[in-house]
Amino acid sequence: MPIDPNFYQLLDLSPEASSDEIHDAYRKKSKVYHPDTTTLPKEVAIQKFQQLNDAYGILSNPKLRKAYDYRLGVSSVKYTPVQKVPHSDTPLASSQVQIQERPLSPGELVALLILCITFLGCLILAVVLGFARGEMMFVEPTALTDVSSKFV
């Protein structure tokens, strides 16, 4: 990962910025440089937006940020981004994706509610149509034999 441009300068932050400040600065800048919303030429916007994504990807991850700060000369503490997995000799790269549970957003909750209502509506519709079209669905077995003997 090249050190130029300086990710802190790109986001207009100091190296002492908190994770909330990094997130807020990224959101603010991404609204300015997003290729779909900016007045810049598309190629320039895509390049600038990719730089913002790279900066946020590094600075929002505490382990990657420590390594970046060391390479940049901001921190004197060297961080090695490779760890050993407990009870194993296999190294675990810090860039591996970690699965985290998070609460559902309001939009996801609304979509889930609509999905459930649609499912229940289809189920009710199927039952109602079954009753409407299947007059002989709950007829006693003796009545069925009487009806079938008339057709033979």
Q: Quick one: which H or E segment has residue 123? A: helix 106-133
> Six-digit token pair at 75?
């921190």
DSSP state letter for 1:
-
> What range defines the domain where residue 147 resides?
106-151
Encode pLDDT of 90-137 as tens digits. 554 444 555 667 788 899 999 999 999 999 999 999 888 888 887 655
Q: Is residue 2 part of a domain?
A: no
pLDDT recorded at residue 78: 56
Same domain, 73 and 18: yes
pLDDT tens track for 126-152: 888 888 887 655 556 665 565 555 555
DSSP code of residue 14: -
Whether residue 71 is found in the same domain as residue 33: yes
CA–CA separation, 72 vs 14, rounded Å? 13
In a domain, 14, yes or no: yes
Number of residues written out for the chain: 152
Condensed to tens digits (0 to 9), the pLDDT of residues 57-79 reads: 999 988 888 888 888 776 655 55
Residues 67 and 111 placed together within one structural domain of the fold: no
> Does the pTM of the predicted model rise above 0.75?
no
Mean pLDDT of 36-49: 87
Spatial contact of 66 and 75, defined as CB atoms under 8 Å apart = yes
With respect to residue 89, please indicate whether it lies within any of the assigned structural domains.
no
- 62 and 111 fall within a common domain: no
- 36-to-5, 26, 42, 45, 51 alpha-carbon distances in Å: 23, 16, 8, 9, 16
Total of domains in the chain: 2
The predicted pLDDT at position 45 comes to: 87
Query: CATH number, domain at 38?
Result: 1.10.287.110
